[in-house]
Amino acid sequence: MANTVKVTLDEIAPYVPVVDRVHGPTHPEFHEVRSIFDKLVEKTDAAGEGCPELSDEFAQLRKVTNNYEIPGDVCETFEEVYQTLERLDKTYSGCPSRG
């Protein structure tokens, strides 16, 4: 599980700052998404092989993104970041140490 989270975060890591730079002026909520994303990466790296505690971060992401609702005026990369974060959120909820 921890490896899946890390690999997925690593896959979208190059795109998050670009989406923030390009869409941040019209979608300021993405600045917060980037900050939360950075916390996800930090906690996942610190957890090593264990399942990191990310429940608060995913709850914050759901709130900030209105449950990963994709705005109508964004590029495919923005859309992919939200979709990937949503899939990761659902995958994480199945982590053995959750629930």
User: Residue 43 domain-assigned?
Assistant: yes
What does pLDDT average to in each consecutive run of 10 residues of the chain (99 residues)? 84 97 96 97 89 93 97 96 95 64
- What is the distance between the alpha carbons of residues 98 and 93, in angstroms, rounded to a whole number? 6
Residue-level pLDDT at 1: 65
What amino acid is encoded at 32 in this protein? E
CA pair distance 99, 37, nearest whole angstrom: 23
pLDDT, position 12:
97
The reply to whether 98 falls in a domain is no
> Which range of residues forms the domain containing residue 13?
2-92
Give the per-residue pLDDT at 59. 96
The answer to whether residue 99 sits within a structural domain is: no
* C-alpha 8, offset from chain centre: 9
Q: What's the confidence (pLDDT) of residue 99?
A: 44
pLDDT of residue 3: 80
Q: How many domains does the chain have?
A: 1
pLDDT for 97 equals 54
In a domain, 97, yes or no: no
